[in-house]
Amino acid sequence: MESKTPWYFWLVAALALLWNAGGALDYVMTQTRNEEYMAQFSEAQLAFFYGLPAWVVACWATAVWGGVLGALLLLLRREVAVQVFLVSFIAMVASMGHNFLLSNGLEVMGAPFSLVFSGAIFVISLGLYLFARRMTRAGLLR
């Protein structure tokens, strides 16, 4: 027997899509080097973004588009959202690992804001994975 879907499920799923759409916009604007969007960054920051190794860009793309797909799958109440959010989370951790541990990303981006925002991305990404897993166990995803 299928459980009635609680209101907060739809709220979380909709907010997940909005959040991840913002990440997708940032990714597209950065990768297409949109002049108006990229004008907010310093020369050092632009050099950092444009100099990312291909594997980091691939991880970033996987994290961003995986988040969008996971949110859409959540809205469709599909159990595969759990695995998609997990892959997105792992890819995000790999790209952040490069940006903050293997390169000078923290120095280039500026410590306070960059760390807080990256921390929020980490927590939300992990939270969406755990939420989808919990909703599967509750019988809300099929």
Lookup result for tokens 């951790």: 93
Residue 141 token pair: 């995803």
Give the separation between CA 52 and CA 98, rounded to whole angstroms: 9
Q: Which amino acid is at 53?
A: P
Mean pLDDT of residues grouped by 10 in the chain (142 residues)? 82 98 97 96 93 97 98 98 98 95 84 85 98 97 94
- pLDDT for position 30: 97
- pLDDT for position 3: 59
Domain ranges of the chain: 7-137
The pTM assigned to this predicted structure is 0.93
- pLDDT for position 1: 43
Spatial CA neighbour of 111 closest among 99, 102, 121, 123? 99
